[in-house]
Each structure stands twice: as C-alpha cells, then as structure tokens.
Amino acid sequence: MALQGNYVLTLGVTAWALAQILKTMLAWIMGKKFKAERLIGSGGMPSSHSALVCSVLIAVWRYEGIHSTMFALALILAAIVMYDAMGVRRETGNQAKILNKLLVEWLDESDPEGNNKQLKELVGHTPFEVIGGAVLGVVLALVIGPVSG
C-alpha cells in the first residue's frame, strides 16, 4: 500500500484516533455510561480535529522544514480548523440546544408519539478542548518522529 509509508498521513490519522479514544474514555468516566458515538462523533475533549491538524503541522515541519510550502499550508489549515471549531461549530451547537428546547415545548403537544428528532448539540469545542487536542497532536508528533530510510 502506497500510503503505508506516509509519515505525515499516518501520524495525522493516529492523532485523530487517539483523540477519539481519549474523548470516549473521558465521556465514559464523566457520564458513567459508554457511548459508542463518541468514537466517531465531533465535539468534546480533546478536539480530534485539532489533534489531527497540529500533528500534521509538526510532522510537516520535521519532515520538510519550516520554510516549505507544505508547512505554510499545514499552518493555515490548522488555524482555520481550530478557529472554526471554537467559533462557527461551537455556536451551531449552542443554537441546537435552544432549538431542541423549543422543539420539545412545541412538539410535545402536536406529537404525542414522540417522533420529533433532536438536533445534534455537541458539534463544536471550547477553547480548552481545542488546546487539549492541539497539545495532544504536537506531543504525539514530537514523540513519533519521521523514520529515516
């Protein structure tokens, strides 16, 4: 498989997977209930998106150097992803909470069978969750260096 030896891609996927596992474990510990959705779901601590883009950023820096075009692209991508997670996606989750509350109040009367569908509320991140993911990605990339071959 051609992608098997791709250090940057392998590290990014590893950081994402580790963040998702940590997120699931933390949700399990805090909520006293296992939720399989946390293994692939967005939102929560740590941000798997931040872990992924920050690990890729450091991997590109270590592999290609800080003056490379790929480093510039990885830096810009990381900034956009983390800004979006704390801004647009977090606000979307806040709006979903309000809409869900309104839907419950309005639809309880008109939907006695309870068929109303709730909007997903956990889609964004707090700054702390984004920082947690970023630190995870950076540390992982510093620990797992490129394999010289």
- Percent of the chain scored above 90 by pLDDT? 40
Question: Among all chains, which residue has been given the structure tokens 């872990």?
Answer: 51
The answer to whether 58 and 142 have CB atoms below 8 angstroms apart is yes
**Better-predicted residue by pLDDT, 78 or 94:** 78
* Cβ-based neighbour number of residue 58 at 10 Å: 24
pTM over 0.85: no
Q: How confident is the model at residue 1 (pLDDT cuts 50, 70, 90)?
A: very low
- Tokens standing for residue 101: 């509350």
Question: Does residue 21 register a pLDDT over 50?
Answer: yes
- pLDDT of res. 146: 73
- pLDDT of res. 149: 45
Average pLDDT value over all residues in the chain = 81
